[in-house]
Structure 1
Amino acid sequence: MRERLLAAEQVVGFVWREGALHVLDQRRLPGEQVWHACHTVSAVATMLAGGALQGAAAREICCGYALVLGARQRMTEGGDWRAGLQVDIDALCAAGLPAAEGARLLAAMHQRLALMKPGAQPLAVLEDEACGAQQRDREANLAMAQLGVELIRGFQGNLQNLLSIGCAGALASGGIGTALGVVRAAQLEGLLERCYLGESRPQLQGARLAAWELSQEGIAVALSADAALAHVMKVRGVTWAVVGAERIAANGDVLGVIGTYQLAVAAMHHGVRLMVVAPSAVIDLAAESGEEDFHELGDGPLAYAGTERVDGVDEVAPQYDVTPADLVDFLVTERGVVERPDAAKLTQLMCRRRLH
């Protein structure tokens, strides 16, 4: 399965090549594929701030490469590159990298430098760590895809209709993606009839990105308005809703793209199993519950033209919502699968070693 998934890999959202980070501009998809070559931290920050680069894993990996670019520039100019790592992280966080991800990234770089062997070149060590982070995410994606498809096979064992929301795929990660990685695996295993996607408002990631990404690999996709997903479950024989996550609390609550919560409620009513696919790095054992601790719901522009808006009417457009743990049937991570996640099960999961 691993080799077949790698062989089928066609879509990538960024590439580190010849000392530069090349980013596929997600704002321009699906109409055109525009790549930007980033040679500086500020160039990567611009991609982040402008929305050209999205997805938690992709953000963190690309910011790792940005630290390499910043260190190289300071070394060339004779500046204090070690102190500059913090300066660059601050700039990236100001551009949109979440503070927790920034702190984790900086700690990983410092830890790698602390283990540097005598005679090693610091820049090469930083670059190796950045490349290693991407490879680890890629391997985690492959592990999750294999675990997720085993659940799908065990549930029914024949052609099935899956449903997803947002774009938890290759564009948002260092590999084949989380939720969409499972969809890819189901396609390769001959288990997928069709993948239904919600538009994913307010940024239309499902309509613009996920639909484009899966169609590039010849996967049968049908797009629906988010408001119609419950109806799709009822009339199209959907067996699994497969979604990603931004963060997961200690009790199993899931912070996900807006619409995940209502999808989970509808899935429970219609007997559709909900699979959350996410790397263990997004599990925050310090956050007791999502309802109490996940406040970064964000906001974004509603997906309609300004000329269609009514003056004086407020807009409520959160980018994320919280799905209670009791609506989650399975949590799939690179460390293993948790059925009906709760605090005790997640604590045990985080004590396991990675499967890959």
Structure 2
Amino acid sequence: MNTVDFDRYDHVRPIRWTGEVLELLDQRVLPFETFYRRLHTFDEVAAAIRDLVVRGAPAIGISAAWGVVLAAKQVSAGDGQAALKQLQPAFDVLNASRPTAVNLAWALGRMRAVLAKSGSDWLSALEQEALAIATEDLAANRLMGRAGAELIDVGSGVLTHCNTGSLATAGFGTALGVIRAGVAEGRIDKVFAGETRPWNQGARLTVWELQEDGIPATLIADAAAAHLMKTGQVQWVVVGADRICANGDTANKIGTYQLAIAARHHGVKVMVVAPSSTVDMDTASGEHIEIEERDPGELLTALGKRTVAEGIVAWNPVFDVTPHDLIDAIVTERGVILSPDETGMRAVFGTP
């Protein structure tokens, strides 16, 4: 197999730190506009996370880390402990911006830990930690790309859901990183992407990313997934995760659970790809995950135009939980867990 050509398949960068401001590629206006929003305060970063300017669990964590740095630039303190007390309101606001993605709390925890042990150089230490979080994420994605691609037979078709590419990470992507690696190595012949209503991350973002890298992809309606599997054109469903529990249960974009059910019926395998920062060994199972519900109005409109009659009630959970027994492989930078369960998870990540 050929070596993965990272330069060819890794063009998009959604997060840019200038040294003074955080620039986020506004994913709400893609693919028709490529616009970076310049954020100067932690409140602006929290709002950007909440309003889906930036999305994807790793990208949310990275953005929040830079949000702490922005807050720190407004603080005067002699050491990290003193700064930590002043920055607690910023940590609280950033942590509350999205409840489901564990990477958010994980990244903020790293920033707190750095502050707690820093002296007079605490601001520089914070900047270095935020940069490390982003750099480590990119490296992890490339490792996972190779590891996940090795599970896929030559000539396979894959289906992915939501957006798990460079737009959702520091670069290369998680599930989309596996797809990029699989295409580069000649393992994947066909790529299908579900539209992922109501925000259409698959339709607006995933197929755009793949087009940018010259990877042919076919968009399908979410409701067409089971029929696609029945035709035999896909052998794997490859998705990301916003939280992976100690037993392997996985929270991901709404619609993942039904894909896993359909995949099991049709003999299609399911791969979850996420960095270790997404693994939450302190949460025993998916029953304990808080599922975020967003404004029902998101279901009532398309491209800013109302498509549903007045007075209609909508329900808008944006994540669901796929039980571990419907997952064939969890791929992280620490290793691959086949047929994941609590024993397999502990073998890689230890006891909480």
For normalisation by structure 1, the TM-score amounts to 0.89
Q: Secondary structure at the match of 2:316?
A: coil
- Change over 3 Å in CA distance of 1:253–1:44 after alignment to 2: same
Q: For 1:278-293, what aligned pairs fall within 5 Å after superposition?
A: 278-290=274-286, 292-293=287-288
| Deviation digits for residues 117-157 of structure 1 (CA, Å, limit 9, x no counterpart) | x7x622111100000011111111111111001111xxx3x
Q: Is the 8 A contact 1:86 1:106 kept in 2?
A: no
TM-superposed deviation, 1:102: 5.0
Q: Which residue of 1 aligns with 2:141?
A: 141
TM-superposed deviation, 1:98: 5.6
Q: Which residue of 2 aligns with 1:221?
A: 217
Q: Does 1:88 align with 2:93?
A: no
More helix by share: 1
- Change over 3 Å in CA distance of 1:102–1:246 after alignment to 2: closer
- Change over 3 Å in CA distance of 1:102–1:260 after alignment to 2: closer
Q: Is the 8 A contact 2:76 2:83 kept in 1?
A: yes
2:291 to 271, 283, 296: 296
Greater shift, 341-350 or 189-198, is seen at 189-198
Gaps of 5+ in 2: none
Q: Which residue of 1 aligns with 2:25?
A: 24
TM-superposed deviation, 1:269: 1.4
- The one-letter code sitting in structure 2 at the alignment partner of 1:278 is A
- The one-letter code sitting in structure 2 at the alignment partner of 1:285 is M
Q: Secondary structure at the match of 1:252?
A: coil
- The one-letter code sitting in structure 2 at the alignment partner of 1:302 is L
Q: Is the 8 A contact 2:146 2:181 kept in 1?
A: yes
TM-superposed deviation, 1:299: 3.2
Q: Is the 8 A contact 2:84 2:115 kept in 1?
A: no
How far apart in 1 are the matches of 2:319 and 2:203?
17
Q: Secondary structure at the match of 2:74?
A: helix
Gaps of 5+ in 1: none
Q: Does 1:189 align with 2:185?
A: yes
Q: Does 1:318 align with 2:320?
A: no
TM-superposed deviation, 1:285: 2.1
- The one-letter code sitting in structure 2 at the alignment partner of 1:141 is N
- The one-letter code sitting in structure 1 at the alignment partner of 2:340 is P
TM-superposed deviation, 1:88: 0.9
- Change over 3 Å in CA distance of 1:102–1:318 after alignment to 2: closer
Q: Does 1:165 align with 2:161?
A: yes
How far apart in 1 are the matches of 2:3 and 2:112?
32
Q: Is the 8 A contact 1:203 1:303 kept in 2?
A: no
> Identity over aligned residues, as a percent?
40
How far apart in 2 are the matches of 1:313 and 1:110?
44
Q: Is the 8 A contact 2:160 2:194 kept in 1?
A: yes
| Deviation digits for residues 160-205 of structure 1 (CA, Å, limit 9, x no counterpart) | 2111001011111112111000011011112222210111112111
Q: Which residue of 1 aligns with 2:9?
A: 8
Q: Which residue of 2 aligns with 1:58?
A: 59
How far apart in 2 are the matches of 1:271 and 1:99?
29
TM-superposed deviation, 1:49: 2.7
Q: Is the 8 A contact 2:156 2:187 kept in 1?
A: yes
How far apart in 2 are the matches of 1:326 and 1:103?
27
Q: Does 1:204 align with 2:200?
A: yes
Q: Which residue of 2 aligns with 1:269?
A: 265
1:240 to 223, 236, 242: 236
- Change over 3 Å in CA distance of 1:326–1:97 after alignment to 2: closer
Q: Which residue of 1 aligns with 2:127?
A: 127
Q: Secondary structure at the match of 1:48?
A: helix
How far apart in 1 are the matches of 2:141 and 2:283?
24
- The one-letter code sitting in structure 2 at the alignment partner of 1:5 is F
* Number of equivalences: 343
Q: Does 1:342 align with 2:341?
A: yes
Q: Secondary structure at the match of 1:171?
A: helix
Q: CA RMSD in A?
A: 2.3
Q: Secondary structure at the match of 2:76?
A: helix
How far apart in 2 are the matches of 1:166 and 1:106?
25
Q: Which residue of 2 aligns with 1:110?
A: 112
Q: Is the 8 A contact 1:261 1:323 kept in 2?
A: yes
